[in-house]
Structure 1
Amino acid sequence: MAILQLSNGKVCGNSSEIVRELALFNVQLQHYSLEAPQHWADLLAEDVLPDLEKRQILELCDRQLESLKQETSYLWSDLLVFHPGSSQLHSISTYNRYHTHKAPEALYLLSGEAIFSFIELDGQQVQLLVQPGDYVQIAAGVEHWFSPTASLEFKAVRYFTTVDGWIPQYTELGELKKLR
């Protein structure tokens, strides 16, 4: 379950309180437990997944989270696999700066942990730690950053509504607020 750290240092672990706080940023949080096959845990523990296993994971998520696809008009999804030796790890630096997206950003965490940060009007940060089973949807145009935790390990499904929706649009305002 997610954990939210408010700008005053208060840590929230109560899901209804977290959902209420995130709504102020136009961010939705839900938790879904998938009914997974027995080998699921072993599969998610692997650093590298062949394409066949990636497709199986995506198909299972699509079947069990079909209501999300219908509610939010997601057209397709892909699987992010990060670990300390990952060739994709360099790409995470594109998301750990303040940015927005033209389309909603939606992510369902399968394993590991990751952090989202959002900016309050006074420039303070609110940080959300997401854990397995957490689904986060950030509305288009919401300023935020994203990063794995220190373990540098997570697997997540990203959901897309447009081809270029996930391309970050970096914000100067966020960079200035970060320097305060």
Structure 2
Amino acid sequence: MSILKLENGQILSHLSDIQRELATLNIQIEHQDLGKSLRFPELLAQDILSQQEKQQILHLYENDFEVLKQKVDYHFYDLLVLHPGSPNLYTLAAAYSRYHTHKDAEALYILAGEAMFGFVQPEGNQVQLLVQAHDYIYIPAEVEHWFSPAASLHVKALRYFTSADGWIPEYTGTRFQDFLRNER
């Protein structure tokens, strides 16, 4: 389940409270246990997946993708697999852990592990959201945010795309407020 930390130190752990707080940005967050993870727990536990294993996971979610595709006009999806030994882990972390926007919406369904997002709210306050297995997040285009794997550096997620270049980050220059360690 998701956990949201506000800039004032308040922690929100009830999904309805998190949804209400992120509604000002039109971000959608849902917890959807689609039940498919029980069919491949050994794959979700592995750090490294072969192309065949990735395709097996993507195939299991094909019908769910078709439903989402009709709602949001997604054109394709892929599987993001990050772990401490990922060759591109630190490059991706450096690229996406700075505040940026995208010209397309960003949507992920977390299969295993966890990740962090930071958002700038309309009044300028920053919030940080931890998403975990079975969380689905939809971030509209042009919403200022950052993304990073959580401390474990393990995350497997389905990523949904409306165009091939829509996820290219456009950096905003907003300074990151590291208030997770600051208790007020």
Q: Which runs of 5+ in 1 are unaligned?
A: none
Partner of 2:101: 100
1:8-29 C-alpha deviation (Å, 9 max, x unpaired): 2111111111111111122111
Q: Which runs of 5+ in 2 are unaligned?
A: 179-184
Q: What SS does structure 2 have at the residue aligned with 1:113? A: strand
Partner of 1:6: 6
Q: What SS does structure 1 have at the residue aligned with 2:59? A: helix
Partner of 1:61: 61
Partner letter of residue 88 of structure 2? Q
Contact 2:104 2:167 (C-alpha < 8 Å) held by counterparts: yes
Task: Return 146-155 or 33-42, whichever deviates more.
Answer: 33-42
Contact 2:32 2:135 (C-alpha < 8 Å) held by counterparts: yes
Give me the whole-angstrom Cα distance separating, in 1, the residues matched to 2:37 and 2:13: 29
Partner of 1:132: 133
Partner of 2:169: 168
Give me the whole-angstrom Cα distance separating, in 1, the residues matched to 2:2 and 2:13: 7
Contact 2:101 2:143 (C-alpha < 8 Å) held by counterparts: yes
Percent sequence identity is: 53
* Residue correspondences, number: 177
Give 1:178 shift. Answer: 4.5
Give 1:39 shift. Answer: 4.8
Partner letter of residue 123 of structure 1? G
Give me the whole-angstrom Cα distance separating, in 1, the residues matched to 2:87 and 2:26: 32
Contact 1:34 1:61 (C-alpha < 8 Å) held by counterparts: no
Contact 2:25 2:122 (C-alpha < 8 Å) held by counterparts: no
TM-score, normalised relative to structure 1: 0.92
Partner letter of residue 117 of structure 1? G
